[in-house]
Amino acid sequence: MIAITVKTLFTPQDKVEQPLVLIDEGRISLISSRSAKDIPSGVRVLEFPDYILAPSYIDIHIHGGAGSDVMQADTSGMESLERFLAGQGVGSYLPTTVTAPMDVTLSALDRLATAIEKAADRNGSHGGRAQPLGIHLEGPFLSHVRRGVHPTGDLLMPSIAVFDRLWQAARGKIALMTIAPELGGALEVIAEAARRGVCVSLGHSDADMATTRAAVRAGARHATHTFNAMRPLHHRDPGILGEVLTNPQLSADIIADGIHVDPALVKLFVKAKGFDDAVLITDAISATGMGDGRYPLGPIEVEVKNGKCVFNGAIAGSILTMDLAVRNAMEFAGCDLAQAVSLATANPARVMQWKDRGVLEAGARADLLVLDTRGNVVQTIIGGQVNESGAMHGR
C-alpha cells in the first residue's frame, strides 16, 4: 500500500485541501482529508507538501514520440515511447495510425493490438509507463480535399467490408475512428462502428452542416482536431465546423500548440464546447522530444524545424506534449489549472467511456500526476507505480 500527501487534490471536478490518498494494488482505495484520517502504519509514504495531485493525462491522438512511430515501432520502440509519455504526465493513450497502403496498415494494427493485449495482461502493472488502451484509426476514410498529409493514393471510400478488415486485423482494439461523413458509404460505416463500440469522430472533412448532422444521427459523437483539416467556417454556410461548435451531442478535441490553431481560436473553442466537452490532444509524431531533423509519420517522412512539422508544405502532426498543451490552455483560453487539467483527464475519459480513469476517487485506477501551480510535471504514478524519470519525494 502507498500513501500520498499533497497540498491540494483535483478530482478534477472538485478540489480537496490537505488530502490523504491511499493506493492498494494499483487502485485508489481511499481519499480523505488528513485531519479526518491518519496515515496507516507500515505503508510507503510519498509526500509532496507544496504540490497538486491530479489524474494523469490521457492522449487520444498521438502518432509517436521519443524517435518512435507507433506504426513502425517494435517492442523496444513502444516501451521508449511509453516511458517518454509518462515523463510528460500521460498515463493512458491511443496509438494513432495514419493513412498508408492497406498491407502496411493491417500489419501495424496487428502489432498495436498485441501491444495493447500485453499491457492488459500485466493487469495494469505497466512499470510506470503510459498504457495503450486502444487504437485510434485516422484514415483511410478521409476527404481528398481535407486530407492534410495523408497520402492520396491510399485513401479509400468507406465500406463495411473494408472497415471489417481493419477491425479484424486490430482484433477489435479500434477504440476511436476518424472519418469524413460526406464520403459515399460513410453513414453506414459510422453506424456499424458505433454499434461495435467505437467512438466515431468526424474529421479530415469537407462536409456541410446537413451531412454532419446526419453523421451524428448515425452515431458519430466526437470531432478530430477542430479547425484543422476541416471545411472553414462561413457565416452563410457554417458546414462541419458550425455543427461541431454548436452541437452539445458532439465533444471535440483541439491541438493547442499555438501553431495548428491561433490562440484566440483555442479560447473560442473552449467557450463553445465548455469545460465538459472540450478535449486536448497532441497529434504528436516521432519527432516529439527530439531535435530538428527528418522523422517518420507512418509511411511518410516529415521535416521538423523550429517546432513545426511539415510535409510538402503542409503541417504534419506536432511535437506538442500534453503537459505543455495544458499550460497553453491556461494561457490561450484564460482558464485555471483545474479547468485545464480536466481537458486532458476527465473529458477524454468521458469521451472514451473509461469510467475508472481521468478522475481521482475510490475504486479508480491509481494513475496520478503531481503538478506545481504552473502545471509543470513533478511526478507521474501509473497503476500505483512511480515513473522512474520523475523526482520522487518519499520516506
Non-local CB neighbours of 299 within 8 Å, separated by 6+ positions: 71, 98, 100, 101, 104, 151, 154
Helix, strand, or coil (residue 169): helix
Q: How many CA atoms lie within 13 A of 1 on its CB side?
A: 12
Q: Out of 208, 253, 283, 367, which one is annotated catalytic?
A: 283
59 is catalytic: no
C-alpha–C-alpha distance, residues 312 and 271, integer Å: 34
Provide DSSP, 17-60: ESEEEEEETTEEEEEEETTT-PPPTT-EEEEEEEEEEEEPEEEE
What are the residue ranges of helices labelled H in 334-391?
337-342, 346-352
C-alpha cell read off for 106: 493491417
Q: How many residues does the structure list for the chain?
A: 395
C-alpha–C-alpha distance, residues 293 and 286, integer Å: 11
Q: Count of CB atoms within 10 A of residue 263's CB?
A: 15
In the block, cell 531535435 appears at 291
C-alpha–C-alpha distance, residues 350 and 344, integer Å: 11
Under a CB-based contact definition with an 8 Å cutoff, are residues 371 and 377 in contact? yes
Under a CB-based contact definition with an 8 Å cutoff, are residues 205 and 146 in contact? yes
Residue 282: closest CA among 315, 318, 316 = 318
C-alpha–C-alpha distance, residues 54 and 64, integer Å: 24
Helix, strand, or coil (residue 77): helix
Non-local CB neighbours of 356 within 8 Å, separated by 6+ positions: 27, 363, 364, 365
C-alpha cell read off for 267: 479560447
Residues classed as catalytic: 283
